[in-house]
């Protein structure tokens, strides 16, 4: 209790504990060059991941025909949303100037969420390592051969397991099952029923737990470690997941360039990503900072009852504090963000890279979802909508003007680009979409 009281002296921690919406500007943010130099990873690690995904592209194209247009790469559109921008500026004052674009990982092929990046990448890397070690595959081969029955029979002797609130489980389960692995997804009580049903329809074993995400991970990890033929995908600590997510930054760089959008000292880039345990936003942050340095400003969005990454960073305790420790329930309609304890691995990396984070109430998620559908005819799931009010919530934050001045961009905000990262939605059944459309919390 003494520790808890000490951290309550911080106004942000008090707001977090009272489930108030708040914005935190990171006092530990450092110049990108110095921050990146202090980390044990580099651009070479991200490029290695990108090359591995390119090797697997023929296999993915063969097994998932919806990826054919992208040559077997799993990628999402970057769409300008001018009508949503106009809605935000009309309904919320103030609002940061600049163009607004939606990074539609909600529409990623195969798994329909940002988790298709890191989750699928880690499964592919593990499959490559197994097949190469057995003398069944060389890096110079056409990887489409992995779709042949003999390879599926080989992978069937192995299990892949993961703990998930939903979307990571979908990406791991769908790709692992396609390759032939036995798959077990350990899911928390927060996971949506349709996600469990979809996994089971793919032949995935789903184990359900009454506790939260951390409990599903803990039990799933213990079971996997007891089986020498099982490989556990650790969302909290996996470097492979992290690098798979980081590849998104290379892809975004190409998309911005293709649209003629500059990112430099006079054209700042703001990126806002919904955040659960931290793996996906952490990897994307790392990749973006490698490419754009101090010209990109990354923020995370979290529910008021479950801001685990913000709490870990604001207190400096990372994984050593949970939202329940400050009296929050950890319950949220944003099921993909329903994580009570952050990744300490990710927190340690983004501590000096992240510009800040904000929290928002669940009712905003549904309101933003409906607004995006009405303004742009685009559906994303409620947890993904956490990113949408970023330009207005950040503009109203105490200290934001000082932040813009300190970074030398206050005079260039009319040239700013805001990328709002939509993290999931493509696989949501129509009946569930209708339920979301008719959900009002106030």
The pLDDT tens digits of the residues spanning 117-161 come to 999 999 999 999 999 999 999 999 999 999 999 999 999 999 999
Taking residue 30's Cβ as centre, other Cβ atoms within 10 Å add up to 15
User: Nearest-CA neighbor of 277 among 215, 336, 356?
Assistant: 336
Whether the ω angle into residue 94 lies within 30 degrees of 0, i.e. cis, is yes
Which helix (DSSP H) or strand (DSSP E) does residue 151 occupy? helix 149-155
Asked whether the predicted pLDDT for residue 1 surpasses 50, the reply is: no
- Return the HEC string of 376-428: HCCCCCHHHHHHCCHHHHHHCCCCHHHHHHHCCCHHHHHHCEEEEEECECCCC
The pLDDT tens digits of the residues spanning 51-101 come to 999 999 999 999 999 999 999 999 999 999 999 999 999 998 899 999 999
Asked whether the predicted pLDDT for residue 215 surpasses 90, the reply is: no
CATH fold for domain 2-111+240-437: Rossmann fold (3.40.50)
User: Nearest-CA neighbor of 170 among 238, 76, 242, 233?
Assistant: 233
Roughly what angle, to the nearest 10 degrees, separates helices 43-63 and 279-292? 120
Distances (CA, A) of 226 to 65, 151, 398: 37, 25, 50
- What residues does each domain of the chain span? 2-111+240-437, 115-237
Give the pLDDT mean for 160-187: 94
User: Considering the entire predicted model, what is its pTM?
Assistant: 0.96
CA 129/CA 111 separation, integer angstroms: 22
User: Nearest-CA neighbor of 82 among 378, 360, 365, 297?
Assistant: 378
Give residue 3's pLDDT. Answer: 52
Give the pLDDT mean for 390-409: 97
Q: Average the pLDDT over each of 200-204, 209-213, 402-406 and give the range with the smallest value.
A: 209-213
The pLDDT tens digits of the residues spanning 7-50 come to 778 999 999 999 999 999 999 999 999 999 999 999 999 999 99
Largest CA distance in the chain: 62
CA 62/CA 276 separation, integer angstroms: 32
Tell me if domain 2-111+240-437 and domain 115-237 are identical in fold: yes
Choosing among 3.40.190.10, 3.40.50.10470, 3.40.50.1100, 1.10.8.590, the CATH entry for 115-237 is 3.40.50.1100
Distances (CA, A) of 126 to 16, 36, 229, 231, 371: 39, 27, 12, 9, 41
Which helix (DSSP H) or strand (DSSP E) does residue 168 occupy? helix 167-179
DSSP bridge partners of 163:
186
DSSP summary character for residue 110:
T
Roughly what angle, to the nearest 10 degrees, separates helices 115-133 and 43-63? 90
Taking residue 4's Cβ as centre, other Cβ atoms within 10 Å add up to 14
The pLDDT tens digits of the residues spanning 220-249 come to 999 999 999 999 999 889 999 999 999 999
- For the chain, the distance separating the N- and C-terminal CA atoms, rounded to the nearest angstrom, is 34
91 phi/psi in degrees, rounded to 5: -95, -15
Give the pLDDT mean for 336-365: 97
CA 284/CA 290 separation, integer angstroms: 10
Q: What does the radius of gyration of the chain's CA atoms come to, in whole angstroms?
A: 21
């Amino acid at each position: 209790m003494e520790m808890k009281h000490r951290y309550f002296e911080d106004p942000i921690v008090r707001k977090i504990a009272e489930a108030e919406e708040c914005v935190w500007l990171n006092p530990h943010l450092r110049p990108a060059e110095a921050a990146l130099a202090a980390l044990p990873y580099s651009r070479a690690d991200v490029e290695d991941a990108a090359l591995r995904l390119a090797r697997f592209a023929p296999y993915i194209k063969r097994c998932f025909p919806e990826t054919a247009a992208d040559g077997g790469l799993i990628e999402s559109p970057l769409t300008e949303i001018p009508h949503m921008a106009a809605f935000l500026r009309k309904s919320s004052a103030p609002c940061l100037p600049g163009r607004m674009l939606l990074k539609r990982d909600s529409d990623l092929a195969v798994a329909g969420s940002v988790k298709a990046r890191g989750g699928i990448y880690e499964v592919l890397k593990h499959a490559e390592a197994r097949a190469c070690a057995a003398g069944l595959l060389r890096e110079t081969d056409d990887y489409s051969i992995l779709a042949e029955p003999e390879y599926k029979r080989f992978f069937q002797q192995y299990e892949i397991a993961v703990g998930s609130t939903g979307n990571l489980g979908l990406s791991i389960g769908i790709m692992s099952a396609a390759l032939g692995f036995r798959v077990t997804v350990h899911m928390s009580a927060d996971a949506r029923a349709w996600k469990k049903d979809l996994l089971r329809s793919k032949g995935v074993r789903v184990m359900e737990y009454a506790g939260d995400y951390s409990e599903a991970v803990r039990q799933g990890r213990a079971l996997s470690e007891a089986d020498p033929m099982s490989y556990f995908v650790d969302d909290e600590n996996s470097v492979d997941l992290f690098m798979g997510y980081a590849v998104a930054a290379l892809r975004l760089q190409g998309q911005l360039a293709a649209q003629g959008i500059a990112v430099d000292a006079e054209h700042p880039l703001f990126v806002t990503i919904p955040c659960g345990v931290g793996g996906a936003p952490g990897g994307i942050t790392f990749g973006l900072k490698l490419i754009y340095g101090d010209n990109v400003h990354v923020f995370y969005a979290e529910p008021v009852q479950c801001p685990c990454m913000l709490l870990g960073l604001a207190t400096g305790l990372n994984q050593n504090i949970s939202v329940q420790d400050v009296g929050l329930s950890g319950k949220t309609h944003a099921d993909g963000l329903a994580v009570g304890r952050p990744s300490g691995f990710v927190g340690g990396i983004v501590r000096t890279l992240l510009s800040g984070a904000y929290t928002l109430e669940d009712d905003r998620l549904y309101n933003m979802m409906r607004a995006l559908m009405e303004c742009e005819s685009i559906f994303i799931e409620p947890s993904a909508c956490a990113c949408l009010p970023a330009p207005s919530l950040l503009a109203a934050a105490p200290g934001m003007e000082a932040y813009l001045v300190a970074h030398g961009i206050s005079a260039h905000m009319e040239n700013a680009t805001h990328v709002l990262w939509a993290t999931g939605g493509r696989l949501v059944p129509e009946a569930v979409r209708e339920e979301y459309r008719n959900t009002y919390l106030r």
